[in-house]
């Protein structure tokens, strides 16, 4: 018998079969996956149709090691390198999201999800117990802060301090070093008092304007010394309320300035009456207000230029941007320092960062300093290890 | 060769061995230049088109990318199927006793001419190649060695050639050393011009004086680092004897770049094995094959087309197209599914290796110049059927286009709509699902790499004693580098080559340094 290699080249018919099979799979798979990607799902239990439309929610958080719940069900698919979750397959309607973790305050929001769209939201979770660092006038040779008191025991609110504190009953300071940070922070609070005075003047000017006749009102705020600007936003006080204004390009506007809605009634139902009111007010207000015309109803969303920051019906003693963020605002109210989210859809979550009815607050270079009685403290926004 | 009467009719055309548009004139020149521009425009157009779509029509871009990712998965599966089949066939061929296989044929009249072009490679490398030829199970007296040196390589190359002739001269039937003169007008310094010169010298000094018939001489042109397996020539003879038209056929072995695989860095290993696998896939679909690197062909066929072109870079594949056109389409490649071993591209340093691999692949992908040549001559040669012209033209166009665009589109531009899309797009479920879907599909496609990894382990030469067994794990895991190597050492050099051709900045021949670490 003539020897020939047993394994022959791949037969053409076999190759053609594999090719046609692949082509058929391609033709079937592409539309299926495209429909899936758009947000269609097969639902055998559907009453009207076996095909249902879904949307999603994308939740981010600054805090790692948190738990998320959507409609009281835990969210399993958290991103590995960031505290975020893309929650898929949500039916259209309102969904409640909880974000909680150990030693941090719980954040809750109820937002609408629309078919084929993703609702974005950012949570924040401040520590349950204030995280502070005491800044004393003197430090000892080891760098520990020195506390002068009647006894050698420390006040209870020093318990959460992250730095070492040495208590002494002696008033002698010769063996200690003057802490330069203390001097600097003290100077910050001295200049802050002057600013507070200006804030009062601004408030009085606002009151006068309210009772004067014949002056055209304008929606553009007076540029008070208390106005702060950060990353295309302006934070200012007007008539006792604090507002944040988007000053950047319309295309870059953060998602929470905009809502997806088909009428004022549904807006109120889905996002709250205050959002509906604020949207209508801005739509019918002066032409000078940007985002106010129909042409600027961008991609089926309606966007506002201003958002009022919730002050819990209290007087605002001080306000500023939360360090390195335009999404959160620090509000010094009567009972302490609060962090309020700008996102007012449904409601604005407010979390107490430091309680006290006789404190002063100042921010500097991404740090938050508090004067509580005779002491200066730095307040941290994350749980310190 | 001034007398062209020995050339086939079509090969007698003055533009038969055209290398670039500038060698033509008038309408032909403009048409050839147009063809040189097409591949670059198509590739850049595709890539820019995806970016444009991502920016202005992100939904369409997203649908396209999903479809493309599915296509990639299926293509990977399709190619893996061919690869696995050829792997089985290659192992089977290695296990055969080819001496017994060819026993039934009368082939004592056949001569094996082996042309070994070399430049500045070391004596060790040249010697290893000759040693492997001497170790083949074939009658050495019917083997003609043509060691083709370059004058531009200087005295050292001549000394090596002389030393090799002295050492191996008596082992083989004939041992001819040729020295290709430098700076010949109209020639590009490179392998093609050297090999052509060597073939003509062999004809003048060996074949004609000894009355050896051209159709009784099989020419194998090997890179100087090629190490033969023992039955290469028996396998070649078997296929030659059983071929339907043996003189109208080229014979293509599987180049396995594994001589130095244990010493080469991971990047070089992955790129080298990927090239091997591509050739293995092609072996199972010979209608798409052209010759590549080391290959064999009858002297008669070579003589009828004037040998390898000496005025262009990718002479190894161009010779096939020369032969196909000169024979009016009656020419083919028979895959041998039998290996020859070559060096993986490795330099003493990692950076040097990466540079060399990039340059080597830029040279290989400059094979896109063949596309212009094929299409140009398809419009001239009326004897080839239109159907075949269309098939070949589309296969070649798809090959060069996909080589450049597919990896970039998959691994980079797949995410473009997410970064470039409109705000309207960013709010959609599609925008969020796109990266997840593409990622999952690419992971699915990565299963093809598992097959590659397993096959590559079976093709390793014996482990040197100084290498740890743990290296097998590294050799298996290294395949995760493929997405990176595909972009950096395949797509980008390919785009570079096409861009140069498009702009008329023609490339010269870059000799891959052969370094044994």
Q: What is the DSSP string of B16-71?
A: TT--SGGGS-HHHHHHHHHHHHHHHHHHHHHHHHHHHHHHH-HHHHHHHHHHHHHH
* Cβ <8 Å between B71 and A26: yes
* Cβ separation A10–B284 shorter than 8 A: yes
Q: Which residues of B touch A19 (CB under 8 A)?
A: 78
CB count within 10 Å of CB B44 equals 16
Nearest to B193 by CA among B178, B172, B209, B176: B178
Q: Give dist(CA A299, CA B342) in Å, integer.
A: 59
Assigned token pair, B266: 């991971």
Whether A9 and B101 lie within 8 Å, measured CB to CB? no
Quick count: other Cβ atoms within 10 Å of Cβ A177? 13
Q: Which helix (H) or strand (E) holds A308?
A: strand A306-309
CB atoms closer than 10 angstroms to residue B515: 20
Using CB atoms, which residue from A3, A30, A86 is nearest to B66?
A: A30
Contact between B125 and B224 under an 8 Å Cβ cutoff? The reply is: yes
pLDDT of residue A292: 45
Per the structure, the count of domains in chain B is: 1
Is residue B71 less than 8 Å (CB to CB) from chain A? Answer: yes
Q: Is residue B153 part of a domain?
A: no
Q: How many CA atoms lie within 13 A of B364 on its CB side?
A: 24
Selecting from A4, A37, A301 the residue whose C-beta is nearest the C-beta of B433 gives A37
Considering the domain boundaries, does residue B313 fall inside one?
no
**DSSP 8-state symbol, A127:** B
Asked if the C-beta of A33 comes within 8 angstroms of chain B's C-beta atoms, the answer is yes
Q: What is the topology classification, in CATH, of domain A54-123?
A: Immunoglobulin-like (2.60.40)
Question: How many angstroms separate the CA atoms of B510 and B309, rounded?
Answer: 16
Which range marks the domain in which residue B21 is found?
1-98+260-288+344-517
The whole-angstrom distance between A291's CA and the closest CA on chain B is 15
A231 — contact with chain B (CB < 8 Å)? no
**B369 to B186, B459, B470: CA distances (angstroms):** 17, 32, 43
Q: Is residue B201 part of a domain?
A: no
Those residues of chain B that have pLDDT short of 50 are: 1
Q: How far, rounded to the nearest angstrom, does the alpha carbon of residue A381 sit from its chain's CA centroid?
A: 13
| Residue B95 forms contact with A (CB below 8 Å) | no
pTM metric for this prediction: 0.83
Closest residue by Cα to residue B514 from B193, B125, B149, B116:
B125
Q: Give the residue carrying structure tokens 């000799």.
A: B511
Structure tokens at B104: 């039934």
B55 touches chain A (CB under 8 A): no
Q: Which of residues 109-168 of B touch A (CB under 8 A)?
A: none
Ramachandran angles phi, psi of B91, nearest 5°: -65, -40
Please tell me the distance from the alpha carbon of residue A166 to that of residue A177, in angstroms, as a whole number.
13
pLDDT of res. A212: 46
- Residue ranges in chain A whose pLDDT is less than 70: 1-3, 77-82, 150, 152-160, 192-225, 261-264, 285-299, 385
Cα B253 to Cα B100: distance, rounded to the nearest angstrom: 20
What's the CA gap between B266 and B360, in Å, rounded? 16
Q: Report chain B residues whose CB lies below 8 A from the CB of A296.
A: none
Are the beta carbons of B334 and B286 closer than 8 angstroms?
yes
Residues of A in contact with B93 (CB under 8 A): 5, 7
For chain A, the C-alpha Rg in angstroms (whole number) is 29
Write down the pLDDT at residue B18. 94
- Residues of chain B in contact with residue A58, where contact means CB-CB under 8 angstroms, are 432
Residue B6 belongs to some domain of the structure? yes
A54 touching B (Cβ < 8 Å): yes
At residue B98, the pLDDT reads 95
Whether residues A9 and B77 touch (CB distance < 8 A) is answered with no
Longest CA pairwise span in chain B (Å) = 81
Residues 6+ apart with CB under 8 A from B423: A251, A298, A299
| Residue B166 placed within a domain | no
> Quick check: is B434 in a domain?
yes
d(C-alpha A138, C-alpha A147), whole Å: 8
A5, A38, A55: residue with CB nearest B96: A5
Q: Does B427 touch chain A (CB under 8 A)?
A: yes
Give the span between the Cα atoms of B55 and B45, in whole angstroms.
15
> A269: helix, coil or strand?
helix
What pLDDT, in 10s, does the model give residues B448-496? 888 888 888 888 888 888 888 888 888 888 888 888 999 999 999 999 9
Domain map of chain A by residue range? 54-123, 137-178, 182-212+219-380
Residue B279 lies in a domain: yes
Angstrom CA distances, A365 to A321, A360, A369, B4, B336, stand at 11, 17, 10, 85, 72
Spatial separation of the C-alpha atoms in residues A176 and B387, rounded to whole Å: 96
Helix (H, G, I), strand (E, B) or coil at A10: coil
Instruction: Report the chain B residue with the minimal C-alpha distance to residue A116.
Output: B429
For residue B432, report the phi and psi dihedrals to the nearest 5 degrees.
-80, -35
Pick the closest to residue A327 from A315, A300, A312, A345 (CA basis): A345
- B234 in contact with chain A, both atoms CB, cutoff 8 A: no
């Amino acid at each position: 018998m003539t020897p020939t290699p047993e394994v022959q080249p791949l037969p053409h018919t076999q190759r053609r079969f594999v090719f046609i099979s692949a082509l058929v799979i391609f033709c079937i798979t592409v539309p299926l996956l495209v429909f899936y990607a758009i947000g269609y799902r097969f639902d055998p239990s559907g009453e009207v149709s076996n095909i249902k439309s879904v949307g999603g929610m994308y939740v981010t958080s600054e805090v790692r090691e948190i738990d998320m719940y959507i409609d009281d069900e835990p969210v399993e698919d958290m991103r590995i390198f960031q505290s975020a979750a893309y929650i898929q397959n949500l039916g259209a309607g309102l969904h409640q999201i909880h974000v909680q973790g150990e030693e941090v305050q719980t954040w809750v929001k109820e937002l609408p999800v629309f078919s084929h769209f993703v609702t974005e939201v950012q949570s924040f979770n401040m520590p349950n117990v204030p995280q502070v660092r005491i800044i004393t006038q003197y430090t000892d040779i080891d760098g520990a802060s020195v506390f002068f008191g009647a006894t050698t025991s420390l006040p209870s609110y020093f318990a959460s301090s992250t730095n070492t504190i040495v208590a002494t009953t002696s008033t002698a300071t010769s063996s200690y070093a003057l802490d330069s940070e203390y001097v600097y922070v003290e100077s910050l609070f001295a200049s802050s008092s002057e600013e507070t005075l200006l804030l009062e003047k601004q408030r009085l000017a606002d009151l006068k304007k309210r009772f004067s006749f014949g002056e055209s009102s304008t929606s553009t705020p007076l540029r008070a010394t208390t106005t702060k600007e950060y990353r295309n936003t302006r934070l200012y006080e007007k008539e006792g309320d604090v507002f944040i204004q988007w000053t950047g390009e319309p295309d870059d506007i953060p998602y929470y300035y905009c809502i997806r809605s088909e009428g004022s009634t549904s807006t109120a139902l889905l996002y709250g009456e205050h959002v509906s009111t604020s949207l209508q007010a801005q739509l019918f207000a002066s032409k000078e207000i940007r985002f106010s015309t129909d042409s600027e109803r961008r991609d089926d969303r309606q966007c506002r230029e201003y958002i009022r920051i919730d002050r819990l019906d209290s007087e605002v003693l001080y306000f500023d941007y939360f360090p390195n963020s335009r999404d959160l605002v620090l509000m010094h109210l009567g009972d302490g320092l609060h962090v309020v989210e700008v996102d007012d859809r449904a409601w604005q979550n407010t979390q107490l960062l430091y309680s006290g009815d006789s404190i002063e607050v100042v921010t500097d270079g991404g740090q938050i300093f508090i004067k509580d009685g005779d002491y200066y403290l730095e307040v941290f926004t994350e749980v310190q290890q | 060769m001034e007398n062209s009467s020995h050339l086939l009719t079509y090969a007698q055309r003055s533009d038969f061995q055209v290398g670039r548009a500038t060698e033509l004139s008038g309408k032909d020149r403009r048409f050839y230049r147009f063809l040189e521009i097409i591949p670059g425009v198509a590739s850049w157009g595709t890539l820019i088109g995806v970016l444009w779509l991502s920016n202005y029509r992100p939904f369409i871009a997203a649908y396209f990318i999903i479809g493309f990712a599915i296509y990639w998965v299926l293509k990977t599966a399709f190619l893996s199927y061919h690869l696995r089949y050829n792997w089985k066939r290659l192992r089977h061929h290695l296990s055969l006793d080819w001496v017994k296989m060819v026993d039934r044929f009368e082939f004592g009249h056949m001569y094996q001419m082996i042309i070994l072009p070399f430049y500045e490679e070391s004596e060790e490398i040249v010697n290893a190649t000759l040693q492997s030829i001497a170790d083949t199970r074939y009658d050495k007296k019917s083997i003609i060695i043509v060691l083709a040196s370059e004058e531009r390589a200087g005295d050292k190359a001549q000394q090596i050639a002389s030393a090799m002739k002295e050492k191996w001269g008596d082992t083989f039937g004939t041992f001819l050393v040729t020295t290709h003169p430098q700076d010949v007008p109209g020639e590009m310094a490179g392998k093609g011009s050297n090999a052509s010169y060597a073939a003509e010298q062999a004809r003048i000094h060996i074949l004609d004086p000894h009355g050896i018939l051209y159709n009784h001489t099989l020419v194998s042109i090997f890179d100087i680092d090629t190490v033969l397996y023992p039955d290469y020539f028996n396998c070649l003879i078997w296929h030659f004897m059983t071929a339907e038209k043996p003189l109208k056929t080229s014979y293509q072995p599987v180049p396995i770049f594994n001589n130095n695989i244990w010493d080469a860095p991971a990047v070089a290993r992955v790129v080298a094995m990927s090239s091997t696998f591509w050739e293995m896939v092609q072996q199972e679909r010979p209608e798409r094959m052209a010759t590549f690197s080391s290959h064999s062909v009858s002297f008669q066929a070579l003589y009828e087309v004037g040998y390898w072109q000496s005025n262009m870079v990718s002479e190894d594949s161009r010779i096939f197209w020369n032969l196909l056109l000169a024979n009016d389409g009656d020419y083919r490649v028979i895959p041998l599914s039998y290996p020859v071993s070559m060096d993986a591209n490795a330099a003493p340093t990692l950076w040097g290796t990466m540079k060399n691999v990039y340059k080597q692949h830029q040279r290989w992908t400059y094979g896109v110049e063949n596309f212009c040549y094929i299409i140009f001559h398809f419009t001239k040669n009326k004897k080839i059927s239109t159907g075949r012209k269309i098939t070949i033209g589309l296969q070649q166009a798809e090959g060069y286009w996909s080589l450049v665009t597919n990896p970039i589109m998959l691994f980079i531009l797949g995410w473009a709509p997410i970064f470039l899309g409109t705000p309207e797009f960013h709010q959609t479920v599609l925008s969020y699902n796109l990266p997840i879907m593409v990622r999952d599909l690419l992971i699915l496609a990565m299963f093809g790499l598992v097959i590659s990894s397993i096959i590559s382990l079976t093709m390793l030469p014996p482990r040197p004693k100084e290498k740890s067994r743990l290296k097998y794990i590294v050799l298996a895991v290294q395949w995760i580098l493929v997405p990176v190597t595909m972009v950096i050492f395949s797509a980008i050099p390919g785009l570079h080559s096409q861009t140069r051709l498009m702009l008329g900045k023609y490339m010269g021949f870059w000799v891959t340094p052969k370094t044994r670490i």
